[in-house]
């Protein structure tokens, strides 16, 4: 069975601080996909990134960066120079491939990030 | 391009009633997923439809059911509503034909059972 653990329930930072959200996953499959989603107070889940299990390259997108390490089964997310608009709940998720597409998403419990001005 | 749409935005029902939630996927997407986000329980997978067929369901009782129409829109039905069914119900769509693995979510339907 697949499992995603986000140990940090809530994080509070001051604007312009860097913050890292941790994600540890469990699966016996060798091919899988990892995701990060953002859920602002409005409730809609916003897709941030997808990572394939066979691609361990780290990725940077503006102030966002992701560190994927298969050796530790982790897929951590760092926001550099945080802003108040980054305040949201962030979910890490795992899915398996199925017939050329994607199986269900297994979500972590989420980390609530509050960025104070 | 229009995103995933869901209706209604809010739904208030009483115990024992039935609720019907609707979802329209992104144009070209054939898969629709339903998730429940209840307070304290996180996001849990409910159902997955692809090209009109149910592909998988989560650990929910049979009173949670749904279907997918020929135009790929979907309906989630919850019968004999219980108080603990109060939650945000999120619909997502994806397209396996284009090897797009991301699931794109709608704004959700907030169901309140009194």
**Chain A neighbors of B102, CB-CB under 8 A:** 35, 47, 50, 102
**What beta strand segments (E) does A1-117 contain?**
3-5, 10-14, 19-21, 24-26, 33-39, 46-52, 59-61, 64-69, 74-79, 88-95, 97-98, 101-102, 106-107, 111-116
User: Nearest residue on chain A to B4, judged by CA atoms?
Assistant: A44
Q: How far is CA B47 from each of CA A20, A28, B79, rounded to the nearest angstrom? A: 32, 23, 15
Regions of chain B where pLDDT drops below 70 = 1, 96-100
User: Could you give the percent of chain A with pLDDT greater than 70?
Assistant: 97
Query: Torsions phi, psi of B5, nearest 5?
Result: -115, 145
- What count of residues does chain A have? 117
pLDDT of res. B2: 81
Separation in Å, CA of B75 to nearest CA in chain A: 18
> Is B66 in contact with B47 (CB distance < 8 Å)?
yes
Model confidence at A57, pLDDT cuts 50, 70, 90, reads: confident
- Chain B contact for A100, CB < 8 A? yes
pLDDT value at residue B97: 63
| DSSP per-residue string spanning B85-97 | G-EEEEEEEEETT
Selection from A97, A109, A115 nearest residue A50 by Cα: A97
A2 at interface of B, judged by CB pairs closer than 8 A: no
Give the tens place of pLDDT for each residue, A5-56: 999 999 999 999 999 999 999 999 888 999 999 999 888 899 999 888 888 7
């Amino acid at each position: 069975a697949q499992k995603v653990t986000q140990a940090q329930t809530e994080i509070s930072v001051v604007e312009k601080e860097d913050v890292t959200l941790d994600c540890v996953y469990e699966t016996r499959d060798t091919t899988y996909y990892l995701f990060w989603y953002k859920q602002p107070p409005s409730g809609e889940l916003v897709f941030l990134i997808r990572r394939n299990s066979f691609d361990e390259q780290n990725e940077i997108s503006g102030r966002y960066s992701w560190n994927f390490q298969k050796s530790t089964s982790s897929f951590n997310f760092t926001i550099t120079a945080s802003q108040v608009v980054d305040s949201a709940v962030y979910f890490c998720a795992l899915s398996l491939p199925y017939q050329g597409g994607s199986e269900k998403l297994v979500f972590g419990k989420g980390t609530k990030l509050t960025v104070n001005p | 391009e229009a995103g995933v749409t869901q209706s209604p935005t809010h739904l208030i029902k009483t115990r024992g009633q039935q609720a019907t939630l609707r979802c329209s996927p992104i144009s070209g997407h054939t898969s629709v997923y339903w998730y429940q986000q209840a307070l304290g329980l996180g996001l849990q997978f409910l159902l997955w439809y692809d090209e009109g067929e149910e592909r998988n369901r989560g650990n929910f009782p049979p009173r949670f059911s749904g279907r997918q129409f020929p135009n790929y829109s979907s309906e989630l039905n919850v019968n004999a509503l219980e108080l603990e069914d109060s939650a945000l119900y999120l619909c997502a769509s994806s397209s396996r034909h284009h090897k797009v693995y991301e699931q794109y979510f709608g704004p959700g339907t907030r169901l309140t059972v009194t």
